[in-house]
Amino acid sequence: MPLRDGRLSHDIDPSDRAPQDACGVFGVWVPADQASRAEVSKLTYYGLYALQHRGQESAGIAVSDGSRIVVFKDMGLVAQVFDESVLNTLRGHIAVGHCRYSTTGSPTWENAQPTFRSTDAGGLALVHNGNLINTLELAAKLEPGVLTATTDTEVLTALLAHQTEGGPMAAAREILPATRGAYSLVFMDEDTLYAARDPEGVRPLVLGELEAGGWVVASETAGLDIVGARFVREIEPGEMVAIDGEGVRSERFAEPRPKGCLFEYVYLARPDTTIAGRSVQATRVEVGRRLAREHPVEADMVIPTPESGTPAAIGYAEASGIPYGQGLVKNSYVGRTFIQPSQTIRQLGIRLKLNPLREAIEGKRLVVVDDSIVRGNTQRAIVGMLRDAGAAEVHVRISSPPVSWPCFYGIDFATRAELIAGNLSVEGIRDSIGADSLGFISLDELISASHIAKDNLCRACFDGIYPIPVEQDASGKHLLEVGR
């Protein structure tokens, strides 16, 4: 997909961008006397690398050496923003890091994270995964001209920095109960690392312990694994922790009302991540098995849409007895290129990213498994491409229910008008994408595969039931930019 810098994104179809999560967050604290050995900036770099799938627009790291906080951030992927020379300048024993996809505020340098504020006691650096739904209400508590960026994260940072008596934990104790929406926060002053999660626990946040001493907080357990941290537990909904030389201290700032995001299991989280004690990979394979039982079909081969459909395709093949195979090859290297596609290449569209294995699919009845359908353009192109390559039949199976409603809690879905399932029946979608048959897993079966109680999950994008009420005039990506 052409970006403003003339590069291409990883999106298979530029008019059918996959759902984007808000961000990945990471934080690390080590004893000050281990700072030179631990190299917290490099631990944070690798942690963000493991969380890159959660945000690809910008990346940043803030480090404290006990006396001052230094922040470095820029637009681009983690590996584009940081190199050895930059990381070597970020020295200290506490760090927070962030990789961003914008859900509030434009994708600009000013809106990149960590956000930083000077306080009467020193400094405050903060990173945030999620999306607030009362941003305008919170911003109204600030003096005019205070905000230097146009994100909900900037508003929250300014509020926490303004309340300095008692330190960041006391400020958070006052501010967070009035903050509505999804927020998994990691922040720090010169001496202490803090983490907090909204009362609904919409976005994940986990705590790990380093073998050599020290603590790590990350969006996913995959961020702990890459730095060799042992998973300790999840940060609970409505919980805030502080980590310093005295260890880990915890308190509740709100009663928990668990509503973890069900779409984390479908698409957002890495398959090697664990959520609520359940492997995401195992969940997705089980979803595929249930999908095969709900929507059987006579076919010769099950193939995934790489790579998001792979676990469910494995499960579908296992349960159906239909052989699993590779029918589409994804080009992993086309994602970021300096070459602007010509009109001729643009007309080829999807073949920049996917190409069929003709000898594997010619004359075959295929089951194509993918994780979700947003606008339908990608599936339409894939079905057409497989038919052109000689497939006898193309049956599409989707490992989530129809996505019919937008998300206001940190996933940048299309509006309801743009969502194909918001406007068409399943049969209408099948006809639109040109498949011989189409089946979505039911919501009940998806929930059952997650092993989490229905009442403890946010399912709003599937059933339109929003656990945190949203006022439509208080939502929108650019609400802080109107009139600027």
Write the pLDDT tens digit of every residue in 346-363: 445 667 788 999 999 999
What is d(CA 261, CA 197) in angstroms, rounded to the nearest whole number? 13
Predicted pLDDT at 109: 87
CA distances from 61 to 36, 187, 208, 224, 259 (A): 17, 11, 19, 17, 29
Per-residue confidence (pLDDT) for residue 472, from 0 to 100: 59
Q: What's the rounded Cα separation, in Å, for the pair 126 and 188? A: 7
Please report the pLDDT score of residue 37 as a whole number.
81
pLDDT of residue 391: 98
Instruction: Please tell me the distance from the alpha carbon of residue 151 to that of residue 115, in angstroms, as a whole number.
Output: 10
CB atoms within 10 A of CB 201: 25
Tens of pLDDT along 376-404?
A: 988 999 999 999 999 999 999 999 999 99
Average pLDDT over residues 409-414: 78
- Worst-scoring range by mean pLDDT, 21-30, 189-198, 205-214? 21-30
Only one residue has tokens 């979700």, namely: 372
Mean pLDDT, range 267-288, rounded to an integer: 95
Q: What is the DSSP string of 2-41?
A: B-TTS-B-S-SSTTSPPP-B-EEEEEEE--GGGHHHH-HH
Confidence check: pLDDT of 476 > 80: no
121 vs 426: CA distance, rounded Å: 58
For the stretch 18-57, pLDDT in tens is 555 558 999 999 999 988 888 999 999 999 999 999 998 9
pLDDT over 90 at 414, yes or no: no
Per-residue pLDDT tens digits for 61-119: 999 999 999 999 999 999 999 999 999 999 999 999 999 887 656 678 889 999 999 98
For the cut 80, the answer to whether the pLDDT of residue 17 exceeds it is no
Residue 342: per-residue pLDDT: 53
How many degrees, rounded to 5, is the angle at CA 20 between CA 205 and CA 335? 115
Please give the Cα distance from 235 to 217 (Å, whole number). 9
The alpha helices in 163-251, defined as continuous H runs, are 167-175, 221-225
- Count Cβ atoms within 10 A of the Cβ of residue 125 and give its class: 0-12 exposed, 13-18 middle, 19 or more buried: buried
Can you give the pLDDT at residue 340? Answer: 46
CB 192 within 8 A of CB 166: no
**Residue pLDDT, tens place only, 106-143:** 678 889 999 999 988 899 999 999 999 999 999 999 98
Q: What is the mean pLDDT of the chain?
A: 89
Q: List, for residues 463-474, the tens digit of each pLDDT value.
A: 999 999 987 555
Q: What is the pLDDT of residue 8?
A: 37
Q: Which residues contact 343 (CB under 8 A, 6 or more apart)?
A: none
CB burial readout 430-447, b (16+ within 10 A) else e: bebbbbbbbbbbebebbb
Average of per-residue pLDDT across 207-234 = 97
Q: Which pLDDT belongs to residue 31?
A: 95
Rounded-to-integer distance, Cα 34 and Cα 46, Å: 18
Residues of the chain above pLDDT 90, percent: 75
8 Å CB contact between 306 and 370: no
pLDDT value for 6: 34
| Averaged pLDDT, 282-294 | 98
Q: In this model, does residue 186 exceed pLDDT 70? A: yes
Instruction: Give pLDDT, residue 482.
Output: 52
Question: Can you give the pLDDT at residue 339?
Answer: 44
The catalytic residue positions are 23
**Three-state secondary-structure class, residue 119:** strand
pLDDT digit string, tens, across residues 300-328? 999 999 988 999 999 999 999 999 999 99
Q: In this model, does residue 164 exceed pLDDT 80?
A: no
